[in-house]
Amino acid sequence: MKDVSDLILPENLRYTETHEWARKEGDEIVMGLSDYAQDQLGDIVFVELPDVGDSFEGGGEFATVESVKAASEVYLPVDGTITAVNEELEGSPELVNGSPYEEAWVVRFKPANPADFENLMDVSTYRTFCGDQ
Amino acid sequence: MSLDLKTTALHGWHVEKGATMADFGGYEMPLWYDSAKAEHLSVLTHAGLFDTSHMAVILLSGSQSYSLLQNTFTKDLDACIGKNRGPLVPGRSTYGAFLNAHGETIDDGIINQLAKDDYMVVVNAGMGAVIAGHLQDQLYEGVEVVDLTDRFGKIDIQGPHSAKILWKVLALPEVAFAELPYFSFKGHFLSDTARAKEITLKDGTPLMLSRTGYTGEFGFELFVPPEATEKVWQLLLDAGEDLGITPCGLAARDSLRGGAVLPLSHQDIGHWPFVRHPWPFALPYDASCDNFTKDFLGADALLAAEDAPYTYAFVGKDARKVDTEEAVVLSNTDQEIGTVLTCVTDMAIGLVDGEIVSIASPDRPEGFAPRGLCCGFLKTDRVLEIGTNLILLQGKRRLPVRVVTDVRPHRTARKAIKQMI
């Protein structure tokens, strides 16, 4: 398991207490699982995605990633409606381990209230949060 | 690290390699190093190395040791070897369980006969004192019972290249591997015993080499002097480097044994009668299968256990699992009929035209790269036909599974050594 100092946590992303990352792209948000999440879960062997058009509340379960240990829920960082899902993950779930911030984006969604994004943790707050886990 | 957990001689090595560690049977053990999936697959394609020093060994000696084991172990020691069910003899091993008077499992284990009136029993982590105490409680005169917990190192090497790797480190490999069928052993790790000279490493380190394992694949369990554990581990890693040896954690061990339909003690067998399960070979059934060939502690309770639950192996349709703590088993009419004991993903198998195929299957399609299938054991209150379709329900997750007798095909555990060198 990685030490907190070894976690790869890009500066330009925001993070959640449930270990998702989020990035603003225009009026949409792209999100996935953090390096901390994939390291804790171990090999991801299956990903269940929502449908485009589904709406979820912030903190609501919208996807499931299955690791060698167990199935874990993925939570939408803020209220929003799914606009795209990364279907690559259904065939290649191991991308979550190998490329959590690039190839393994999970969904793109339109936030109900764009200002909510600013409430997510920045990288230094999140790194401290991981250290306290 | 939790202060309450014990460690093996290899704990420092595991931590230094960045293993994800967890409590197993009171020991802090590696779950995986880099990738549990890669570790699992390595045992089917090359070789995996497992630290299993957390397991327990008990020695029994004395004129009544045979009688004590025959009266407490579920296997008939007079009829347990080979297809013709010959008696246990020195150098051979047999699998069974120790039960209480209610027929419930205290632990499962392997009995190795070292010599006449001289046995070594291998049981699970933390169970050395429990089983030693249980045996002593039977009050047999003339038996010495010694719990060797934490006084040996145990390393399992499993996978098709296991014998080739061992060949490089053993002093006289051709002698070691001659006449060493499945469930037999040679040597001993205690240097003052007669068997210790049978098998040694090139540097003279004595060891017990056992043709057993917990993966369903070809391989060996090595019992070594405790102070030699780290040296033997590194020796095997070095010797196996060009043959693709991979250190494996307990996650791979769990998923491999799940696919091999082997039970985990205190999870798949436990505080309920040791009958109506996929392991009838661990019981001394006679030809009628209604009675036993011997009497033993718990036998009466098993024969009278009309309300005992049924245990079955199952396999799913993809890699998804359920949490055994939360999931229930539903019939095809959505009636709740049981609980899930084990649920793991065997990452080496997939479905091809409805049949389970392994990456080691000779008839696998070209480029076969399975995503894995969930499998395990369930406990139910009723008889189920093999092939019955069921649902594992956890929250809103519904996994379709099928009752089966076997999961991962083309396992290699019983292959002759000469085919594997």
B251 with A69: Cβ contact below 8 A = yes
**Residues linked to residue B358 through DSSP beta bridges, in sequence order:** B349
Mutate to test the interface with A, among B15, B23, B35 (most CBs of A within 10 A): B35
Three-class DSSP labels, A96-112: HHHCCCCCCCCEEEEEC
Sheet holding B56-61, edge to edge: B93-99, B105-115, B118-123, B56-61, B144-147
Locate all alpha helices (DSSP H) within B106-221, ordered by sequence.
Answer: 128-137, 162-169, 173-177
Q: What pLDDT score does B1 carry? A: 53
Nearest to B109 by CA among B57, B159, B52, B42: B57
The answer to whether the CB of B143 falls within 8 A of the CB of B62 is yes
pLDDT band at B2 (very low <50, low <70, confident <90, very high): low
Please classify residue A127 by burial: count the beta carbons closer than 10 Å to its beta carbon, then call 0-12 exposed, 13-18 middle and 19+ buried.
middle
The answer to whether the CB of B55 falls within 8 A of the CB of B26 is no
Which chain B residues are closer than 8 Å to A45 by Cβ? Answer: 37, 319, 345, 347, 371-372
- The SS3 of residue B45 is helix
B36 touches chain A (CB under 8 A): yes
B318 with A43: Cβ contact below 8 A = no
Residue B236 and residue B155: Cα distance in Å, rounded? 10
pLDDT > 90? residue B86: yes
- ipTM for the whole complex: 0.85
- The residue with greater pLDDT, A1 or B406, is B406
Question: How near does any CA of chain B get to the CA of A50, in Å?
Answer: 14
pLDDT digits (tens, 9 = 90+) for B147-182: 999 999 999 999 999 999 999 999 999 999 999 999
Please compute the mean of the pLDDT values over residues B253-261 and round it to a whole number. Answer: 98
A1 with B20: Cβ contact below 8 A = yes
pLDDT > 90? residue B396: no
Please compute the mean of the pLDDT values over residues B21-46 and round it to a whole number. Answer: 97
Task: Collect all residues with Cβ–Cβ distance below 8 Å to B185 and sequence separation of at least 6.
Answer: B91, B92, B93, B112, B208, B209, B210, B211, B212
- Provide the CATH number for the domain formed by B11-53+152-257 in this structure: 3.30.1360.120
Domains in chain A, CATH or no CATH each? 4-112 (2.40.50.100)
B397 with A1: Cβ contact below 8 A = no
Look at the block and give the residue holding tokens 């997510």: A120
Residues 226-255 of B with CB under 8 A from A: 251, 255
pLDDT > 90? residue A1: no
**Full DSSP string of B123-153:** E-TT-HHHHHHHHHHT--TT-EEEE-TTSSE
Q: What pLDDT score does B4 carry? A: 86
Orientation of helix B229-240 relative to helix B162-169, angle to 10°: 120
Please compute the mean of the pLDDT values over residues B273-298 and round it to a whole number. Answer: 96
Which chain B residues are closer than 8 Å to A46 by Cβ? Answer: 318-320, 371-372
Task: Collect all residues with Cβ–Cβ distance below 8 Å to A51 and sequence separation of at least 6.
Answer: A82, A85
pLDDT digits (tens, 9 = 90+) for B346-372: 999 999 999 999 999 999 999 999 999
Q: Which helix (H) or strand (E) holds B250?
A: helix B250-259
Q: What pLDDT score does A122 carry? A: 97
Question: Considering only the top CATH level, what class is B309-404?
Answer: mainly beta
pLDDT > 70? residue B92: yes
Give the domain ranges of chain B: 11-53+152-257, 309-404
- Amino acid identity of B203? D
Which chain B residues are closer than 8 Å to A60 by Cβ? Answer: none
Instruction: Determine what percent of chain A is predicted with pLDDT higher than 70.
Output: 100
pLDDT band at A133 (very low <50, low <70, confident <90, very high): confident
The answer to whether the CB of B36 falls within 8 A of the CB of B251 is yes
The answer to whether the CB of B324 falls within 8 A of the CB of B394 is no
